[in-house]
Structure 1
Amino acid sequence: MPSRKETPLKDRARGRWHEMLPALGLPRQILTGKHQPCPMCRGKDRFRFDNKRNEGTWFCSHCRAGDGISLVMKAKDWDYRTAAKEIETLIGSATPVDPPLERGEADKRAALNELWRSSRAIQPGDAAGVFLFNRVGITTFPDCLRFACNIPYRDDGRTSWHPGMIAKVTDPTGRPTSLHRTYLTHDGRKADVPDPRRMMPGSIAKGSAVRLMPHDGVLGIAEGIETALAASRLFGVPCWAALNAGTLSEWVPPEGVEEVIVFGDYDANHTGQVAATTLAQRLHNQSGIKVRVEIPPYPGQDWNDVLVAQEDAEKARYNRDTAGATYG
């Protein structure tokens, strides 16, 4: 497999533009695929983001056409080096979407239903159960998470097959809107593929999340699935997963929620912190919901990292305390 240095920036950014472009300051409304005011020349109704091959492609009757990198360069008035540096800071945290398939919405919906029907409830001994136990220490599993034995992974025209964890993504009204996949090895580790976490092709309703557990008026929201499960264990509150920073900032709480705890990531590039505070400010201003933000103590951490560090420290203390014990 080519190393990161050998893989062109264009290829590593593929499938991530819907999340990265708003994080780089471009308005999210230009990404709908419909004609929009151009973010570069400001011309009315002359720009369209068509995102062919998931490469961030666009065209404008005045500015010509290009890919995601050129869009960033033109819209921000950056040279290639500056644009590449800023894009690099976001690639690792942006969840990729599968390359679009030439098929209609009905076919995409059928593919979602087929994948969900091929999965089953997670058991402690299967790959998804082992993965979740090793990551967050749980042995009972949410109904919205499932295990599938054989999921296709497509990359550069090649297809491989892996076991994996399937997560149901639900819109603010409670309807399923997409599926998220975590590709695994048979012994419960992340699969050795470029993007072990992927969304299914197709649009995702704004404000959606993986509804991991019921709530009683108080609800946490985090980015990743394991992060949300870890935050729930650490803070003793139910928590859902928005899956990435972009969808976290747009999340919409369901009816009946009176207090929200936003469990942000402590990213070196501030993406996680900005998404968490953006959501908190919006909820405070628009809904009057009581809201607070919790960020891990150290740079580079999410709440799953905090849980793992805490459990490692407890194990070390136990081993130290029992090292000299005698019995009898």
Structure 2
Amino acid sequence: MLSASELADRLARDAEAVCRHYLSAGRRAGNYWIVGDTANSKGKSLYVHLSGPRAGRWADAATAEYGDLLDLVRETCGLVDFRDVADEARRFLNEPRVSPAQSVPAASRRSDAHVDPLVDRPAGERAKRLFQMAQPLGATLADSYLRQRGILRAALHPALRFHPSCYYRELKTDETHILPALVAAVTDPFGEITGVHRTWLDPDGDSKAKIDDPRRALGGLVGNAVRFRFPTRGPVPVMVAGEGLESILSLAHVMPGMPMVSALTANHLAAFRPPNGCLRLYVAADADAAGRHGIEGLSRHAQSLGILPLVLTPELGDFNEDLRRLGPGRLIANLSAQLAPEDAQTVLSV
């Protein structure tokens, strides 16, 4: 039986056929296959290398997702278990090839015996299913992990859950893992889940899992975010937006009255859409070049909407480092000096 890397290599040998089958809404452009996303939408965000040493590798510029063709099969078919992904890849490899003119969408070529209940559903629905499979955060390994980071009330946030056996595959090796994970729901302005963010954890400790990439996102992130204490109706006159999940959770720990969002990456922070009725938008800074890009992009967008952007800066590398090393009292004092007086009076708490 072929291993994961062998399956990926076999698929890469016929990368264009794989793309025509699973990403039929796309088109070839030189040595790339171009399409909107892994849900097979029209567009130009996702590109797949069709030849050369990177044949079969793909990346989505909009969501920061990437992988090989085995990952692409998993995403396009909405599969969760690696066994199902491998079975689908083997089925494709055993089918006779058709010419590009004869190529038809994947959904119409599957026999009833191979149809998965999530096949051809949008990425947001696949993310929603994963979040629904997770359990409440309280008294779990994920809760313990966050407490070790100084975040003591994370279980109060419905956007966070714990999955005890979340599938993970290393891109550079054959290794596959079933690991516990902190799962965060990415939602749109109406509270609908569009994606999830996973932080895989060490089952024997209170740290992240010892894998190459312990954080990954799935689904639609652009313009959306992980939301904390965020109303789904009515105006949000004042709020905080930032990049990292733990950095925003650290601010939420000492600012329990403030709506907040974590956009997860600097690019997605720049693309975040502030809610209607927002008057002041605090942008939580991270001390790196990518973080500055996100801050500047979101600030420009806020100003174009008539929203006042105000930057909150940590004393150390990020707000979680401030919380852990300096303590909540010092963090509150630092924030008090940066918030508008009316906001400092209503949201800060030890």
TM-score, normalising length from structure 1? 0.62
The aligned residue for residue 98 of structure 2 is: none
Partner of 2:226: 210
- CA pair 117-310 structure 1, distance change in 2 beyond 3 A: same
Q: CA deviation at 1:210?
A: 0.3
1:129 aligns to what? 143
Q: Does 1:147 align with 2:165?
A: no
Alignment check: 8 A CA contact 2:145 2:207 kept: yes
In structure 2, do the counterparts of structure 1 residues 275 and 107 end up closer, same or farther at CA, with 3 Å as the change threshold?
Answer: closer
Q: Distance in 2 between matches of 1:289 and 1:313?
A: 30
Match of 1:293 in 2: 311
Partner of 1:182: 199
Q: How far apart in 2 are the matches of 1:293 and 1:66?
A: 43
Query: Runs of 5+ in structure 2 lacking a partner?
Result: 1-24, 39-44, 56-62, 78-118, 331-350
**Count of equivalent residues:** 240
- What amino acid is the match of 1:179? V
- In the alignment, which residue of structure 1 is the partner of 2:181? 164
2:162 equivalent to 1:116: no
Superimposed CA distance per residue, residues 281-323 of structure 1 (whole angstroms, 9 cap, x where no aligned partner): 11102x101211123344xx12111221212998xxxxxxxxx
Partner Cα distance (1:264, 1:112) in 2: 28
**Which string of whole-angstrom CA distances, capped at 9 and with x for unpartnered residues, describes residues 129-183 of structure 1?**
1111111332343001001111111124432111111111112343211111110
How far apart are the structure 2 equivalents of 1:55 and 1:256?
A: 34
Q: How does 1:1-328 map to 2 (within 5 A)?
A: 49=34, 57-58=48-49, 97=66, 99-100=71-72, 101=74, 102-103=76-77, 104-106=119-121, 108=123, 111-123=126-138, 125-139=139-153, 140-155=155-170, 156-186=173-203, 187-200=205-218, 202=219, 204-214=220-230, 216-234=236-254, 237-267=258-288, 270-285=289-304, 287-298=305-316, 301-311=317-327
Does the 8 A contact of 2:164 with 2:179 survive in 1? Answer: yes
Deviations 1:204-263 (A, max 9, x none): 152110012226521101111111011233556332100011100100112232211000
- The offset of 1:66, in angstroms, is 8.2
Closer/same/farther in 2, CA of residues 197 and 97 from structure 1, 3 Å limit:
farther
Looking at structure 2, the residues matched to 234 and 67 of structure 1 have their Cα atoms a distance apart, in angstroms, of: 46
Alpha-carbon distance change, 121 to 310 in structure 1, aligned in 2, over 3 angstroms = same
Q: Distance in 2 between matches of 1:211 and 1:183?
A: 20
What is the RMSD of the two structures over their aligned residues, measured on CA atoms? 3.7
Q: In the aligned structure 2, how far is the partner of 1:193 from the partner of 1:262?
A: 31
Once the two structures are TM-superposed, the CA of residue 275 in structure 1 deviates from its matched residue by 1.2
Q: Which runs of 5+ in 1 are unaligned?
A: 1-32, 69-93, 315-328
